[in-house]
Amino acid sequence: MFFKKIITKFNLFFLLIILSALFLYFYHLSSNPPGFYSDEAVVAYNAYSILKTGRDEYGQLFPILFRFFGSYTPGLFVYFLVPFIKIFGLSVLTVRGVNAFLMILTGIILYLFLRKLLPQQNKYYLLLSLFCYYLTPWTIFNARLGYEVTFAYFLFCLAAYLLSQKKLSWAFTILSLSTYAAHPYRYLSPLIILIYFFTFRFKLKDFIRYLIPAFFIQIPHFIMIFTPAFWVKSSYLTVSFIHQYLTFFSPSNIFSQEDIDPQRSIPQIAIFYFWQFFPLIFGTIKIIKNRHLYIYQLIILLLLLSPLPAAFANANYATQRALAMLFPYSIIMSLGIIELLHYRRIKYLFLVIIPFSVLLLWRSYFVFLPKDRMFQWYSGLKEISAFVEQHPSWHFIIDDSYHIPHIEYLFFTKYSPQKYQQEKGILKNYYSDTLFVNSGIFSNLEIKRIDKLNDIKKKQVLIYSSFRTFTSAQVAADCLDKIFEFDDYKGNALFQGFMTNPELIKNNCKSESGSKMLK
């Protein structure tokens, strides 16, 4: 009897959608996107360091803002990762898997929001909207990354749902927490609370009552506000602000063009599928029609405010900074999809559109991305880290012209945080020393801009990225032995490792040099 109640046709469909999302988000998660970007590695290693020592990589005890490379990122995601790293270990799968799981939860929040919005609607139509949300390129891309923005986006969705339920105290508390999750939310969340107050005209007394928990959560920020670290990513209003703001609403950007940064986009696909333009139109019409209702006003408010941090940031069409837009956009598109499903002929069109979307996604994400974006995702640093670890008696210099290799090495080798902190020393003036630092010496590794004239005079291994490669004639002239090369799919070198031969330089390289290749 109990099972009969649970095993309904609807529940089975719901489960099927969740399972397909799980498959989509976890399939080859540790190898696609290829490599592990430094912004992911730095979050993961600092969580590992907090777990082992209670301090971050610079030796700061439980920081509020994590220095990372000088970006002073809000640290809630780092602390959130700690128990997962304790249970599942430090790996690419753990870090990305947490976000994949959170993104699935945002889908469930979206479904609940839609249920609140359209209580009389056919539940299967809502399920189809949920499936389209899971299938959206913007959702998939951010679900499969280990960035803090996905965690902040989850908090934002939760707050939006609580706002729709008019549980204001809880909503403001979550919004307040999200300011500790990612930079854009530090501006967005207070703005939402403020505009919400003016739009829905609450009594000041009630409003203050709702704000009390949110206010107490902000106490660490009030302490931080007088330090330079708090203002590292501060923005200012520019003339181009309106144009940047409009980019997030232009159909050409959201349905046709990819993000300008190849590391933040899927090749040859925009953040939404082309066909989602039509649900957006229908959904917008519905929103405009019902604009006098509270919940529709809330959607408009969220949509108009969410790109503001990205527009202020002076970056052209940075989709990661405007990730909060995904939620209001998805609600509007879901409304449009549900409207369209009322037309019988269009209903059957979805039988073609969804498989075609899966084809486009497979082509761009699972075929193009792993090869086309190897360079942008720091492919090869895992292998190099293993190689460096296998040769503890050799001295290595890695060129810092593009990558941030130290954090990748720490992550992939699970370098002891205690040992690293001892070797590097504890950073004084943690919250005021805001300079970007990439170079450093620890273990048998040195990270700096390679000075070829001087560095070839010592016996060591020089590792260059593809920004600085050499012809075979140059290699021969400097008496270097190529000991490994890591290539992309075209055969172009992503990394090259050379063993120096200072003793041969004196004899004009007169000796046979062998070479072995690392595969």
Partner 1 sequence: MKLNLNIFFLLILTPCLFWQYKTTKIQPIWIQTPAEYDLQYHNINLYPRPLLRIGNQLENKKYFQLFFKSLDRFFYPLNFNLLFSNWHLIFLPLFLFGLFKIKKNDLITLFILLFFPLLLVNIIGYINQAMYAFYPLIIWFNLKCFLKK
Contacts with partner 1, residue ranges (CB under 8 A): 242-243, 246-247, 249-253, 255-257, 268, 274, 277, 288, 291, 363, 367-368, 371-372, 489-490
Give the bridge partners for 498, in sequence order: 462, 482
Q: Least CB distance from residue 446 to partner 1, whole Å? A: 36
Which pair of structure tokens corresponds to residue 135?
A: 């299938």
Q: Which residues contact 20 (CB under 8 A, 6 or more apart)?
A: 131, 134
Q: Which residues contact 63 (CB under 8 A, 6 or more apart)?
A: 56, 75, 430
Residue found under tokens 């959206």: 136
Task: Decide whether 69 or 274 has the Cβ nearer to partner 1.
Answer: 274
Residue type, 167: K
Sign (positive or negative) of CA dihedral 243, 247, 250, 253: positive
Which DSSP string corresponds to 193-249? HHHHHHHHT--HHHHHHHHHHHHHHTHHHHHHTTSGGGGTT-----TTHHHHHHHTT
Task: Decide whether 168 or 318 has the Cβ nearer to partner 1.
Answer: 318
Q: Least CB distance from residue 146 to partner 1, whole Å? A: 24
Q: 436: left (phi > 0), else alpha (psi -120 to 50), else beta?
A: beta
Q: Least CB distance from residue 418 to partner 1, whole Å? A: 42
Task: Decide whether 208 or 246 has the Cβ nearer to partner 1.
Answer: 246
Q: Least CB distance from residue 325 to partner 1, whole Å? A: 15
Distance CA(114)–CA(161), nearest Å, equals 10
Which pair of structure tokens corresponds to residue 352?
A: 């073609």
Q: Least CB distance from residue 405 to partner 1, whole Å? A: 27
Task: Decide whether 213 or 267 has the Cβ nearer to partner 1.
Answer: 267
Q: Least CB distance from residue 274 to partner 1, whole Å? A: 5
Task: Decide whether 165 or 268 has the Cβ nearer to partner 1.
Answer: 268
Strand order in the sheet with 481-487: 440-442, 445-448, 396-399, 461-465, 493-499, 481-487
Distance CA(95)–CA(88), nearest Å, equals 10
The SS3 of residue 341 is coil
Q: Least CB distance from residue 242 to partner 1, whole Å? A: 7
Residue type, 48: Y
Task: Decide whether 112 or 300 has the Cβ nearer to partner 1.
Answer: 300
Which pair of structure tokens corresponds to residue 322?
A: 């405007």
Task: Decide whether 352 or 367 has the Cβ nearer to partner 1.
Answer: 367
Task: Decide whether 248 or 396 has the Cβ nearer to partner 1.
Answer: 248
Cβ proximity of 133 and 334 under 8 Å: yes
Task: Decide whether 33 or 146 has the Cβ nearer to partner 1.
Answer: 33
Q: Which DSSP state fits 259?
A: P
In b/e form, how buried is each residue of 371-392, taking b as 16+ CB within 10 angstroms?
A: ebbbbbbbbbbbbbbebbbeee
Helix axes 76-88 and 148-164, enclosed angle (nearest 10): 110
Q: 89: left (phi > 0), else alpha (psi -120 to 50), else beta?
A: left
Q: Least CB distance from residue 271 to partner 1, whole Å? A: 12
Task: Decide whether 121 or 316 has the Cβ nearer to partner 1.
Answer: 316
Q: Least CB distance from residue 291 to partner 1, whole Å? A: 8
Task: Decide whether 374 or 450 has the Cβ nearer to partner 1.
Answer: 374
Q: Least CB distance from residue 10 to partner 1, whole Å? A: 35
Task: Decide whether 57 or 258 has the Cβ nearer to partner 1.
Answer: 258
Distance CA(278)–CA(251), nearest Å, equals 11
Q: Least CB distance from residue 249 to partner 1, whole Å? A: 6
Q: 25: left (phi > 0), else alpha (psi -120 to 50), else beta?
A: alpha
Angle in degrees, CA 118, 160, 197, rounded to 5: 110
Q: What is the CA 389 to chain-centroid distance, rounded?
A: 28
Q: Least CB distance from residue 330 to partner 1, whole Å? A: 19
Cβ proximity of 62 and 106 under 8 Å: no
Q: Least CB distance from residue 376 to partner 1, whole Å? A: 14
The SS3 of residue 496 is strand
Task: Decide whether 380 or 497 has the Cβ nearer to partner 1.
Answer: 380
